[in-house]
Structure 1
Amino acid sequence: MDRTDHELLRLMGADARQSLAQLGAAVGLSPSAVNERVRRLQAAGTIRAIRADVAPEQISRPVLAFIWVALAPDASEDGFRRAMRDMPAICACHHVTGAWSYLLQIRVESLSGVEAFLARLKSGGWIARSETMLALSTVVDAPFIYRGA
């Protein structure tokens, strides 16, 4: 990746709806040259997706919770991972170091939604213990946005 690729990533991170012509004007390339670079960045896996940034409160998911999970000794780690991928409430699931096995980030409609999510984890036999934290407010909430090298 060269400087131009880095600048394209920064520009697209700020607003991926910009046209190829707008991106090209910003970096001094033709729209077709920008298109080729973007395709190459996608093929390499650098650009993983271009998606909508949805406001959770607008789709009835205002409650943000973080759940530390220690897997039960007899729980299947592969099974746990598959189950987490299939749960719509999960925004992120991280395998972590330290006293916990995983850190989950969920979005639900209410506090009873958090309770229902935890009950589902418990009924699946996945967890030995957990700790839940609720976000009171959010200072920064975004997927990784490339801001430059």
Structure 2
Amino acid sequence: MTTTPGGKTPSAPVQGQGSTSAWAGGGVIFAGVLMTVGGVVSVFEGIAALAKDDIYVPIGDYTFKFNLTSWGWIHIILGVIVFIVGVAILKGLHWGRVAGVVVAALSILLHFLWLPYQPLWGLISIAFGVFIIWALCTDDRSHTVI
């Protein structure tokens, strides 16, 4: 048995205390990629909403109604922010991970309100947001990809 200077015996990390799941570790990188790609897609959604009002037609009557021009600008602004935060996560910056949780939560809310225009994509985006929050909150290592 080996000892460290000072006479203490090193111990292996216990699951859940200082060690992380491989899913969460890879999930952080995947979350960064999802956020960068999702940000670009959101910008394109916003441009499409601004370009023509007949591209997105709401399905049924919905409580939360906004003008498509407003939705276009919301998607463009949030898309740029999501892209920047995704790049920060891929660079391994701590503020990017914190901002990633906040922006993913905001994106979940946005896509919930966007459901009458694109129900399937809205549900997929909500699921991605939940995964991003989980991955960023469970992994305690910093990852640098770019």
Bigger helix fraction: 2
Question: So what's the TM-score if we normalise by structure 2?
Answer: 0.27
Larger relative strand fraction: 1
- TM-score, normalisation: structure 1: 0.27
